[in-house]
């Protein structure tokens, strides 16, 4: 991205369509006066600290200040008061998970560039408008980018300097990009503010909950537990089977598990898919098999995990309960964490998330994960060998998916040869 000036740029002539937008309640706010960096602000790369109420940020190759919770934000303004000591700043709106696409206001004092542009998902830039004759101020100044419908506007110290119309990107989170023009970029941020915009007299805030985000800390009231009358109890003790045969044919593996007594010889359904890849910032959940729901299941997948932080995970998820907005609230997770440990975790009915790990099982970057969830018991196998056996879990029905928790877009949670077998208890 830092070399976009080497690309052939197409200059578009744009006509400003007046929109009477109004500010609504803040979606995000940080003034750093309390020496705190909000958890919602994800800073990637570089070094930073708070000095005298300012976020002092330095980076050599390029960095990002991201607000990933705003992935579904549509009409909003991102505003920051800052001082550019060295390098360039690009204020980006409607960013997608690729970290490239969206609308940019570029402020590059060294090359005397102030322009408004868009980028596609492959980081190919097109200039929409340029501010000829203007220079980036020395010292502290305020810059703002509004995205309202198809209208994009840029302001410098409350003065409209650039505008364009474009309909390629309708939603996405706000981002501040920082790049050096020589060796190091050095920026002081006094404040960062994101505000919802509304063209109506009666202001209406957009929905800000991502429809695919899965969180281990529920933010709504617990969903009512299914009664035992609605879903009959199954008393199960899974046998101590230390090894199961692996193969390319799920049907043959299911037959083997029936023969071993891990699952009953009962009516069942097999669901398969080639795979899922998640490379996004934050906690994400990809649903599988059209939300097929079951209490009793075998789930298997080959996990390749490339993490960038010790807190990251790549997981197969089952028994997923979601609220009316589609947000996962309770679930059973089995997979890999960034320490190459086998990971199991579960959200209890009271919303608490408990977990257990086992080290020394995996080779670097992954392997086959297979688990049996039957009644209130769980057994987990890695590359065909038992890791957890007959672990107590919460009785519930739910759907299936792949979940990841990552801190950078360079982390990869890649699961192939995915299949789920649901069966009657």
CATH number at residue 86: 2.60.120.560
The pLDDT of residue 8 is: 24
The edge-to-edge listing of strands for the beta sheet with 328-337 is 282-288, 399-406, 313-322, 328-337, 342-347, 353-358
| Residue 139 belongs to some domain of the structure | yes
Asked whether residue 261 is assigned to any structural domain, the reply reads: yes
Same domain for 158 and 10: yes
**Domain match, 189 and 299 both:** no
How many C-beta atoms surround the C-beta of residue 111 within 10 A? 10
In a domain? residue 359: yes
| Residues 405/408/412/413 CA torsion (nearest 10 deg) | 10
Residues 186, 54: one domain?
yes
Domain co-membership, 413 together with 267: yes
Does one domain contain both 187 and 52? Answer: yes
Q: Which pLDDT belongs to residue 199? A: 56
- Specify the pLDDT at position 383: 92
Tracing tokens 């049907």 back to the chain, one arrives at 251
The answer to whether position 222 is within a domain reads no
Same domain, yes or no: 192 and 286: no
Q: Are residues 194 and 304 in the same domain?
A: no
What was the pLDDT predicted at 350? 76
* 233 is a domain residue: no
Give CA torsion, residues 27, 28, 33, 38, to 10 deg.
Answer: 140
Which residues, given as ranges, of the chain have pLDDT below 50?
1-21, 200-231
Residues of the domain holding 269: 250-423
Model pLDDT, residue 171: 93
Do 281 and 381 have their domain in common?
A: yes
Question: Is the domain of 52 the same as that of 192?
Answer: yes
pTM over 0.75: no
**Structural domain includes residue 393:** yes
For Cα atoms 237, 239, 244, give the angle at the middle one, nearest 5 degrees.
140
pLDDT score of 161: 96
Q: How far apart are CA 371 and CA 407, in angstroms?
A: 27
Alpha helices in 239-363 (DSSP H): 250-260
CA distance 384 to 245: 6
For residue 226, being part of any structural domain is answered with: no
Total domains present in the chain: 2
> Are both 180 and 273 inside the same structural domain?
no
Per-residue model confidence (pLDDT) at position 24: 58
Q: Is residue 229 part of a domain?
A: no
């Amino acid at each position: 991205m830092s070399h976009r000036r080497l690309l052939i740029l197409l200059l578009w002539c744009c006509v400003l369509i007046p929109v009477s937008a109004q500010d609504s309640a803040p979606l995000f706010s940080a003034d750093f006066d309390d020496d705190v960096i909000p958890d919602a602000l994800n800073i990637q790369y570089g070094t930073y600290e708070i000095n005298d109420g300012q976020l002092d940020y330095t980076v050599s190759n390029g960095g990002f200040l991201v607000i990933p919770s705003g992935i579904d934000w549509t009409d909003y303004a991102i505003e920051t008061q800052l001082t550019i000591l060295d390098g360039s700043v690009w204020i980006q709106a409607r960013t997608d998970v690729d970290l490239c696409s969206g609308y940019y206001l570029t402020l590059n004092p060294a090359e005397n560039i102030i322009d408004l542009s868009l980028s596609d998902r492959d980081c190919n830039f097109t200039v929409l408008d340029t501010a000829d004759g203007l220079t980036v101020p020395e010292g502290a100044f305020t810059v703002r980018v509004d995205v309202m419908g198809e209208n994009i506007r840029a302001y410098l110290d409350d003065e409209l300097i650039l505008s364009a119309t474009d309909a390629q990107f309708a939603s996405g989170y706000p981002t501040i990009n920082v790049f050096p023009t020589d060796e190091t970029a050095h920026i002081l941020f006094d404040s960062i503010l994101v505000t919802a915009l509304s063209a109506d007299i009666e202001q209406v805030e957009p929905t800000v909950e991502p429809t695919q985000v899965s969180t281990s800390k529920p933010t709504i009231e617990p969903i009512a537990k299914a009664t035992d009358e609605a879903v009959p109890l199954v008393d199960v003790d899974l046998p101590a089977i230390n090894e199961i045969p692996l193969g390319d044919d799920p049907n043959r593996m299911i037959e083997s598990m029936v023969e071993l007594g891990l699952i009953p010889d009962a009516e069942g359904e097999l669901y398969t898919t080639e795979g899922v890849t998640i490379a996004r910032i934050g906690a994400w959940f990809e649903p599988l098999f059209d939300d097929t729901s079951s209490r009793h299941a075998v789930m298997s997948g080959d996990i390749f995990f490339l993490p960038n932080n010790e807190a990251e995970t790549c997981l197969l998820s089952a028994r997923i309960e979601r609220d009316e907005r589609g947000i996962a609230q309770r679930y059973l997770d089995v997979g890999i964490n960034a320490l190459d440990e086998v990971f199991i975790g579960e959200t209890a009915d009271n919303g608490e998330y408990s977990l257990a790990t086992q080290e020394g099982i995996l080779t670097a970057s992954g392997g086959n994960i297979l688990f049996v969830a039957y009644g209130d018991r769980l057994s987990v196998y890695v590359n065909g060998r038992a890791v957890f056996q007959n672990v107590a879990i919460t009785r519930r029905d739910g759907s299936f998916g792949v979940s990841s928790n990552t801190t950078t877009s360079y982390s990869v949670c890649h699961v192939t040869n995915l299949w789920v077998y649901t069966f009657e208890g």
